[in-house]
Amino acid sequence: MWENRIAGIFISFIVAACKLKYIAGGGAIAGIAFSIFIALAQLQTIYAPYFTPTTIDLKGLQNRYDINGTLNYSVIVKGYGSNCHQLEVVTTRQGANLERVSYYSKADDCRFIVISHGSYNFTRQFEYGGPLVLGEAGTYIIDVTFVDLVDHHSTLIRKSIIVG
């Protein structure tokens, strides 16, 4: 893949910079190359262990909904890590006490799969409607948690919506 070619070019650049006769000049070039490598990993242009963050995006989620309306959105997760994950999505209604109105959780059973590491990019669609979920006016909180069950890295995103 082209990401591997870019990573190979940067590694070759770092090795060449280290072989320079002048340590100060070579150190500066190596530092610049490493900085570019980190920036590309953070932007998810290339995927590298420890340097590529996990990102969670909610597509289709609006700020306002009607009472008894339909909540329809997608959770998109991108990053680098193992192939053994857990995704949890909880919707709560704020009030005198937090009331959970929807819950989804899926965890891979790591005992029965061959563990590998690499980039991931997947989407899960959610659709809720009617009086049980959006039946009362108020502020609702949606928490999405993604956990890499091998590396124990956790990412959380929280969004609020208004119903009424």
Q: Kindly report, residue by residue over 5-28, the tens digit of the pLDDT.
A: 555 555 565 655 555 555 556 666
Q: Considering the domain boundaries, does residue 103 fall inside one?
A: yes
The better pLDDT of the pair 3, 87 is held by 87
Q: Considering the domain boundaries, does residue 68 fall inside one?
A: yes
Structural domain including 143 reads 55-163
Question: What is the count of structural domains for the chain?
Answer: 2
In this structure, the answer to whether residues 154 and 82 fall within a common structural domain is yes
Q: Which residues contact 136 (CB under 8 A, 6 or more apart)?
A: 67, 93, 163
pLDDT the model gives residue 129:
74
In this structure, the answer to whether residues 100 and 157 fall within a common structural domain is yes
In this structure, the answer to whether residues 35 and 86 fall within a common structural domain is no
Domain CATH number, residue 86: 2.60.40.3880
> Contact 76/68 with Cβ under 8 angstroms?
no
Give me the mean pLDDT over the 141-154 stretch: 92
Q: Considering the domain boundaries, does residue 110 fall inside one?
A: yes
In this structure, the answer to whether residues 35 and 87 fall within a common structural domain is no
Q: Considering the domain boundaries, does residue 7 fall inside one?
A: yes
Q: If we measure between CA atoms, which residue out of 77, 161, 83, 72 comes closest to residue 116?
A: 83
pLDDT tens digits, one per residue of 57-116: 999 999 999 998 888 899 999 888 888 999 999 999 987 688 899 999 999 998 888 988
In this structure, the answer to whether residues 59 and 24 fall within a common structural domain is no
